Structure 1
Amino acid sequence: MESREPVETVCHNDLAPWNTIFRAGLPVAFIDWDTAAPGPRAWDLGFIAWRWVPFWRDAKCRAHGLPIGVAEKARRFRLLLDAYDLEPEIGVVHAGIERMRQLQEHMWKLVADGSGWEVELARRGVLDEAALEIEWVEEHALTLVGS
């Protein structure tokens, strides 16, 4: 990945559960640093919130046995930012939206290029679900920050 301004840290750019090593149920390390690049911390924090809070629609959370409701997601978002000694701010949510849009564009380009894994994800509706997640976060962004 290319660096993003303002450069405040080295962003992992894909800090998700599938890139996390767990021991006894606790995260101990992040792997898969091939997309790391300099950038603003909000870029990674927005993506982390997306994957770990998670910023998913209730139907998807329910299907995965996760808590539902915007207020619960806002509470979990505050916990994430508290761990970094930050106040909830709309900039982190907007950075997450931008990061997810960028990821969507990249994935659809790979589909158009015929990349097998991404074609399969598109066939299974994973990319369509991500578009619905973006819409959900856009709709609830202020509540996620202010609840």
Structure 2
Amino acid sequence: MSTLRAAGVTEVPEPLGLDDEGREVLSYLPGVVGNYPMPSWIWSPTILHEAGSLLRRVHDASAPLAHTAAIWQLPAHEPIEVVCLNDVAPYNMVFQDGHITGLIDVDMASPGPRIWDLAYLAYRLVPLGEYADPDAPDWDARPGRLDALIRAYGYGFDQAAVLRAAADRMEDLAVFTDQRAADTGRNDFLEHAAQYRRDRDRLVEMIARPWAS
């Protein structure tokens, strides 16, 4: 995070060193976190635009680290372009007065392609999966929201590429969650993995027949 802050990305915590037990100490980012159930304002166009723009700034600032000899908690994904945060979503964002003011919980970052992070952000914030939230945008609004997020990020991705990456991300997440279920014996992880695979199948269908209901 020191690299990001040195590049002017002040929306991440500032590293303050280690405590007496060797744990990293970070500065506190004031605000509220976008926990479920989501507040209605989380779906505003402003949040969507700010999320895409902030992710682009984080990626650009992280690019020098992507090819360094470092140890990451998660495996890298090819092609390596930037350092992906791997969990860019409202529950890892800090908000104040209807604006994004911070990104937190970046310890699972690892090198990968830009679209890997953007696709997961789209999955959570467009959104691209099934949501019980009554305030979530209707399906007919989501193609425009995906376009808006891509424009905010400012890179030449098309919708199909983002949907394909999101489908791959769901399968990767399902495999990871299956392993967590095996390691912990928690059946709720199996339920989460099944949901990720249902969303993966829907995304694959959307690529062939966009935005099917």
TM-score, L = length of structure 1:
0.82
Structure 1 residue ranges without an equivalent (≥5): none
Query: Which structure is higher in helix share?
Result: 1
Per-residue CA deviation, residues 19-52 of structure 1 (Å, 9 max, x unaligned), is: 1111112111111111111111011111111011
Give the equivalent residue in structure 1 for 2:165. 95
Q: Is the 8 Å Cα contact of residues 168 and 200 (structure 2) preserved in structure 1?
A: no
Q: Is the 8 Å Cα contact of residues 77 and 88 (structure 1) preserved in structure 2?
A: no
Instruction: Find out whether 1:107 has 2:173 as its counterpart.
Output: no
Give the equivalent residue in structure 2 for 1:74. 143
Instruction: Find out whether 1:47 has 2:120 as its counterpart.
Output: yes
- What SS does structure 1 have at the residue aligned with 2:193? helix
Give the equivalent residue in structure 2 for 1:120. 188
| Distance in 2, Cα, partners of 1:32 & 1:80 | 22
Matches within 5 A, 1:11-90: 11-57=84-130, 60-61=131-132, 63-69=133-139, 71-85=140-154, 86-90=156-160
Aligned residues: 136
| Distance in 1, Cα, partners of 2:124 & 2:153 | 17
1:112 positional shift? 1.4
Evaluate the alpha carbon distance shift between residue 89 and residue 22 of structure 1 in structure 2; reply closer, same or farther with a 3 A threshold: same
Per-residue CA deviation, residues 80-135 of structure 1 (Å, 9 max, x unaligned), is: 0010223424222211111111111110111112255xx3344xx43333222212
- Of the two structures, which has the highest relative contact order with CA contacts closer than 8 Å and spacing of 6 or more? 1
| Distance in 1, Cα, partners of 2:78 & 2:138 | 34
Moved over 3 A (4+): 119-122
Q: Give the % identical residues.
A: 29
Instruction: Find out whether 1:133 has 2:202 as its counterpart.
Output: no
Q: Which moved more, 1:22-31 or 1:130-139?
A: 130-139
Cα-Cα RMSD: 1.9
Q: Which has the larger radius of gyration?
A: 2
